[in-house]
Every structure is written in structure tokens, then in C-alpha cells.
């Protein structure tokens, strides 16, 4: 799964990575959680790529109750093309979700130690996402979900799932709403190479979804059990 992530990279670097032609404003985020608003990039016909802020947790256009979003903040790569909640968005409303790291937890005795997982160079990347628009009367909600796949060798000791990190050469195809080649699209939904990533234990402050701040990434106050701590080097 992917239930928390970071985006602290300067907005200009994010815009450059994702091919945005107009300046964007993004504040540094250290503990992004479901139901919060997150940055996404989508292709707008006639206007090109645009950044928007959407609620994290998909509300399908046909949903009776927007509260369904709390169960749909992730979509499994294996079923995203066929599951009713996601299949239409997978066909027509794909997006990029910028990030520069995500969190997973390792159980050590009675404690769960959070780890921050990122690229070796610490740079930003794009998660594979979907978006949708729900309307009821005058109320409109635009929302998104993060696609997950099986974990790579780095993440597997922490969790059996990880978010899909798209390679840069997939961005054009992923955002192209006219592309409906399911086989090609699902080709991109695989684990990112473990040898291009790293991870480190961080502060338990990140456990609280409402806590936001750079100290989320500080080392834990008490070092994890050396016999159990994962070697990510």
C-alpha cells in the first residue's frame, strides 16, 4: 500500500521533471496522508499538462456517498483495469502524482518503526495515479488514488506492496487519454528497481497523520534494534 508520502522538492524542480510550462507553487510537505489535498499533474485537452490539487482518496463519479474515498486511496495494479471503482479512470483519467519519498513501517516487537523510502539521488519522481470528478447538485469533488504493485526487494521486508513509480519515458503515454492500450499501460505498473532506491528509519512523529514538519525525517530518538534493523546499504 501507499498511505503516506513526502514532497519537499522545490516547485521549480517538480515542474521541470513533469514538463509543466507555467510556474507552480508548492509548499514542502513531509507527511502527506489520505483525505488531504495532494498535487497531481494531468493533461488538459488544448492546454497541455496542468497541476491541480485534489483530495487523496478516489470518489468515483457514480458513487452514492463520497465517504467511499477513505477506502479508495490505493488501487491495485493487478485489478485497476477491471475493478468498477477504477476502470473508467484507468481508461481516461490517468495522472502523475509528484513525490520524493514514501513511508512504510517495520514491526519490531511491540513497536512499529517508520522508514522513509526514496531514490538513491534523493530526487523527485512521479507516482502512477488516477483521478475522477464527482458531482451532487452544486457540490463537486475532484479526487485521486495512487496505484500500487508488489514490493521490490528493498521494500518487501517492510510491506508486500509499494506505490508504482513511473519511469520518465512513460509520462507521455500515461497522460495520453486517447491511449487505451491496456497491455501497454499495465507494462508500466511494476516495481521500481530496488538498486535505485534507499531507505532509512525516521522519527515516530510521522505516525500521527496530522503532524507536519521536517523533523518527520529525523532519525528515531531510540535506534531500532540492531539485530532487527534492515540493512538498506
The grid coordinates of residue 204 equal 515516530
Is 104 tagged catalytic?
A: yes
Burial class (CB in 10 A: 0-12, 13-18, 19+), 66: middle
Catalytic residue chosen out of the listed positions 2, 95, 144, 216: 2
The Cα–Cα gap between 19 and 207 comes to 33
The grid coordinates of residue 156 equal 518487501
198: enclosing H helix or E strand: strand 197-201
The grid coordinates of residue 31 equal 507527511
Residue 46, helix vs strand vs coil? coil
Contact 182, 176 (CB under 8 A): no
The Cα–Cα gap between 123 and 100 comes to 6
**Count of alpha carbons within 13 Å of 100, Cβ hemisphere only?**
16
Contact 7, 31 (CB under 8 A): no
Catalytic residue chosen out of the listed positions 27, 88, 104, 153: 104
Q: Which sequence positions are flagged as catalytic? A: 2, 104
Amino acid at each position: 500500500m501507499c498511505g503516506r508520502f513526502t514532497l519537499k522538492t522545490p516547485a521549480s524542480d517538480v515542474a521541470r521533471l513533469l514538463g509543466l510550462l507555467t510556474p507552480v507553487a508548492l509548499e514542502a510537505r513531509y507527511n502527506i496522508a489520505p483525505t488531504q489535498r495532494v498535487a497531481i499533474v494531468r493533461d488538459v485537452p488544448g492546454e497541455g499538462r496542468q497541476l491541480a490539487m485534489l483530495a487523496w482518496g478516489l470518489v468515483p463519479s457514480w458513487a452514492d456517498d463520497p465517504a467511499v474515498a477513505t477506502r479508495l486511496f490505493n488501487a491495485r495494479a493487478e485489478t485497476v483495469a477491471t475493478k468498477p471503482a477504477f476502470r473508467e479512470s484507468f481508461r481516461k483519467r490517468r495522472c502523475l502524482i509528484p513525490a520524493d519519498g514514501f513511508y512504510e513501517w517495520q514491526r519490531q516487537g511491540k513497536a512499529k518503526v517508520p522508514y522513509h523510502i526514496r531514490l538513491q539521488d534523493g530526487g523527485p519522481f512521479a507516482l502512477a495515479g488516477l483521478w475522477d470528478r464527482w458531482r451532487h447538485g452544486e457540490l463537486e469533488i475532484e479526487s485521486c488514488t495512487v496505484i500500487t504493485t508488489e514490493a521490490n526487494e528493498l521494500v518487501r521486508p517492510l510491506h508486500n506492496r509499494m506505490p508504482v513509480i513511473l519511469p520518465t519515458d512513460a509520462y507521455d503515454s500515461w497522460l495520453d487519454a486517447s491511449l487505451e492500450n491496456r497491455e501497454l499501460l499495465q507494462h508500466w505498473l511494476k516495481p521500481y528497481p530496488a538498486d535505485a532506491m534507499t531507505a532509512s528509519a525516521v522519527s515516530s512523529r510521522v505516525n500521527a497523520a496530522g503532524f507536519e514538519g521536517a523533523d518527520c525525517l529525523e532519525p528515531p530518538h531510540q535506534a531500532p534494534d540492531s539485530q532487527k534493523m534492515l540493512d538498506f546499504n
